[in-house]
Structure 1
Amino acid sequence: MTCRVSDLTSNDLDALTGLIMDDGGYSMRVFGRPPKSDAARDVLHTRPPGLDLESKTTIGLWDDNRLIGVADAVRGYPRPEVMYVGLLQVETDSQGGGVGRMLHEALVDRAMNDPGITTLQLSIVATNAEAAEGF
């Protein structure tokens, strides 16, 4: 597998929508419903109140032209020195193959190269803990 990481933009909306719809049951475990059709747009643009769009980082992991993983984070939340990971999702068929680790390493690299960030933080939703435990 030859993978590359890139920033995701609105141009990647279709690929991101496809990935999010193939969520391996994440949305049911966390929200109690299937993923919403506009979830990809939310991943690209939603951020905590008071943070500008530049605080948002959304990266994708591509295998050739197929998006196989996504991670998003916001800088400056909940404190100025924190980068908070909001989502790390890998397509069902690629889980267990190190894709999540590659995305995590890319986020760590982003955090380490941001002079204002000293902490990378994430939370695991209790109803998703068993699925996320391996990561």
Structure 2
Amino acid sequence: MELRPITPEDVDAVQELLESDPGYAERITGYPPGASDAQSLLMMRPESLPEESKVVLGAFEADQLVAVVDLLRGFPNDHTAFIGLLEVHATHQGRGYGRTTYQLAQQYVETTWPEIRTMRLAVVDTNAQVATGF
């Protein structure tokens, strides 16, 4: 599996991944995935962070996007990277792709952002039952 930054050419694959598991969006937002969720994922970040502090990485098996991870560099402090989203395509869930994607993301942070000492994520209460296993 290869982890690489999502490019504009990957947006449709990200949108398809997000739509593959409508239960996730419904647990988080109360609504099914929207038509522009992939575009929003690529752009949204805390106002205090510069654009270059956000990276969205795709985990690819051959040429197929199997997972996506959203990372914020220096949030909520200069020595922390925050995982805003780690989602596995519905057809690939339960096969270890989430764990492998997390490990690759950790390796990415360690080798790319030397000032980062802590990785953090938050689990939304309405998604806790599903996310706790991960």
Q: Place the TM-score, normalised by the shorter chain, in its bin.
A: over 0.9
> Where does 1:1-135 land on structure 2 (aligned, <5 Å)?
3-113=1-111, 114-135=113-134
Q: CA deviation at 1:20?
A: 0.7
Check conservation: 1:111, 1:118, Cα contact below 8 A: no
TM-score (norm 2): 0.94
Alignment-mate amino acid for residue 110 of structure 1: Y
**Once superposed, what is the RMSD of the aligned Cα atoms?**
1.1
Percentage identity across aligned positions? 35
Alignment-mate amino acid for residue 20 of structure 1: L
Q: CA deviation at 1:64?
A: 2.1
Q: CA deviation at 1:24?
A: 4.7
Cα displacement string for residues 25-47 of structure 1 (whole angstroms, at most 9, x for unaligned residues): 10111111101111101111111
Gaps of 5+ in 2: none
Q: Distance in 2 between matches of 1:33 and 1:99?
A: 25
Check conservation: 1:80, 1:116, Cα contact below 8 A: yes
TM-score (norm 1): 0.93
Q: Which runs of 4+ in 1 moved over 3 A?
A: none
Alignment: residue pair count: 133
Q: Distance in 1 between matches of 2:6 and 2:73?
A: 16
